Amino acid sequence: MNYRHAFHAGNFADLAKHAILTRLLRELTATPAALTVIDTHAGAGLYDLAAEASRRTGEGQAGIARLMAALDAPAAFDDLKAAVRRVNAPGEGRYYPGSPVLVAGALRPRDRSIFCELRDDDALALKRVLPRELGALVHRGDGWTQAAKAALAAPAALLVLIDPPFERGDDYAEAVRLTARLLRINRGAAVAIWTPIKDLATFDAFLGNLEDAAHGASLLAAEVRLRPLTDPMRLNGCAMVVVNPPPALDDHARTVVDWIARNLGEAGAAGRVTRISPRSGGNTGDPRGRGGGEGG
């Protein structure tokens, strides 16, 4: 695998993923039940935006640096911004926290977290970032298989973050298969899947397959499109798709994706949120197969 998140840390996709993840964590830790969080593709945990990898792409400067400097950024980003401040010296923005650091910062002593990472160097870096985090376990290995094993031993409250690099052709299918397994183990599990959006056909096919795998569970798809989907070779946008989303997530996610599209996107950028409800047997918001998918 050639993908290294250090090149992309703090970009627009991280802002969407992490602003929604922090809200999920806030909602799920608001109840007395102990929570288990499993991250299938955890990465290194903390990223140096001053390092050569980040400076080469400039994605962090175009993403988190602009968010932190924005005076009009909505409160939906407050938890993410607070986490960024915690890993930096006052007034600085050199470091960006990955999902494991965000999870560790949100959990309570009775909660636990399992971070899966296939790369040796990133797993070691993650262990250094989380050396004494209560209840945190770094698993060096395949997150696709480890997540289902860990879910079997988890208590009722469960959140699984599925965030592969989507370099392999079967990553979409693996995400669908894992979701189906997790829901067989724990029907009420919240499953959050980050996906790139390059073309509408691929994303819609994934969403349809995931809906089938969910067997009636609610789905929420929060999309950011930085530009019209005219070049399938580019990362034109991204989505966070959440199975069993809490009710409060819709408005939060809509605020997040709208701000990113409006402030970081090009002409034709759009943010949208779709909920597929089991009670109605269909969608609320935009129907799937959205007529080419361009527009607000």
Q: Which of these, 122, 107, 96, lies nearest to 41 by C-alpha position? A: 122
pLDDT for residue 293: 37
Task: Report mean pLDDT in 10-residue bins for the chain, 296 residues.
Answer: 73 97 97 96 94 89 96 97 97 96 95 94 93 81 94 91 90 97 96 96 96 95 96 95 96 98 97 82 45 35
Which structure tokens are listed for 125?
């870096």
Q: Is 46 helix (H, G, I), strand (E, B) or coil?
A: strand
| Cα–Cα distance for residue pair 191/186, rounded to 1 Å | 11
| Cα–Cα distance for residue pair 143/157, rounded to 1 Å | 19
Domain spans, the chain: 5-284
* Inter-residue contact 78 to 68 (CB < 8 Å): no
pLDDT for residue 290: 41
Cα dist from 198 to 25, 137, 160, 252, 293, whole Å: 28, 34, 24, 24, 12
CATH of 5-284, one of 3.30.300.350, 3.30.70.3150, 3.30.1490.20, 3.40.50.150: 3.40.50.150
Lookup result for tokens 């400097």: 69
pLDDT for residue 73: 97
Of the CA atoms within 13 Å of residue 271, those in its CB half-sphere come to 21
Q: Which of these, 109, 108, 103, 134, lies nearest to 40 by C-alpha position? A: 103
pLDDT for residue 35: 96
| Cα–Cα distance for residue pair 226/205, rounded to 1 Å | 20
- A 10 A CB-CB count for 120 gives 9
